[in-house]
Amino acid sequence: MKHFILPLIAVLAAVSCKQGQDRKEAVQAYPEQSADTVVETSEKPEVSELLSLEGIADSTFVRLADYSSDFVFDMKYATEDNFLESKVYDCAECYVRAVTARAVIEANKELMKQGYRIKFFDCYRPLDVQKKMWKIVSNPQYVADPAQGSIHNKGGAVDITLVDMEGNELDMGTGFDYFGKEGHHDYTDLPEVVLSNRKLLKTTMEKYGFKSIRTEWWHYNLVDASNAEVANFRWDCE
């Protein structure tokens, strides 16, 4: 019996030693993490939650980017890349009345179903900026007289174009703020693709309550905002 017990003890000791070694290796491979341990992940940083337009009065000015992340912005008057060749905004922001925001968001949703998005060149324009523009170019053919104001000053106008889902602009025949006849809606001596792109933008915007003006393919006024008051609201630049 003694001869049987001794080998058994030796076997159990060997097994116990092996298990201990396995546990040691496991601890080395997967060390315990304390509450302060930082674990790197491939997750994207959190995006600010979009706000809702529900319950906001139509006349309220809103920052469009707070309510939709589907637009592209290239605010030309916050740069010198415009027909004035002058920067007249302190910083690039797109504000509109809430009623305008609702309409343009719905128009953009329809365009996205077809693979396109709206790109903004200008939105609400404070009256002080209108006066500054008038001082640079005092020609009502190009700049509305601030004495009367424009629908841009009311938060009901947008200057826009279309881009594909990668951000490439569709061919509209001319650039933004091109004041020759080629920029007119009724000028048709243009390639078929240009006429088709302009038609897509125009018919979609009109479907959601906007009205075009004959001489600027990029400019749209929201009919429901036409009677709003001229404003001089200024946004903060961080």
- Is 234 domain-assigned? no
What residue numbers bound the domain in which 122 lies?
61-225
Termini Cα distance of the chain? 89
- Is 119 domain-assigned? yes
CA separation for the pair 209, 110 (Å, rounded): 14
- Angle separating helix axes 192-207 and 98-113, nearest 10 degrees: 130
CA separation for the pair 201, 159 (Å, rounded): 12
pTM metric for this prediction: 0.79
Number of domains comprising the chain: 1
Q: Encode pLDDT of 120-166 as tens digits.
A: 999 999 999 999 999 999 988 889 999 999 999 999 999 999 999 99
- Is 92 domain-assigned? yes
Residue type, 227: N
Chain position carrying tokens 């009724």: 186
- Is 206 domain-assigned? yes
- Is 193 domain-assigned? yes
Helices (H), 160-211: 192-207
How much is the pLDDT for 238? Answer: 77
- Is 10 domain-assigned? no
Tell me how many helices (H) and strands (E) the chain has.
4, 7
How much is the pLDDT for 34? Answer: 30
Give me the torsion for CA of 146, 207, 120, 71, rounded to 10°. Answer: 140
pLDDT band of residue 78 (cuts 50, 70, 90) is very high
pLDDT band of residue 39 (cuts 50, 70, 90) is very low
How much is the pLDDT for 142? Answer: 85
- Is 23 domain-assigned? no
**Which residues does 173 contact at the CB level (< 8 Å), separation at least 6?**
182, 183, 190, 191, 194, 198, 217
Cα 81 from chain centroid (whole Å): 20
Distances (CA, A) of 59 to 5, 65, 85, 98, 128: 94, 17, 32, 6, 19
Average pLDDT over residues 209-213: 97
CA separation for the pair 184, 216 (Å, rounded): 5
Residue type, 71: F
Strands (E) in the chain, as ranges, are 61-63, 72-73, 95-97, 116-122, 157-164, 210-213, 216-222
CATH code at position 140? 3.30.1380.10
pLDDT > 70? residue 19: no
- Is 15 domain-assigned? no
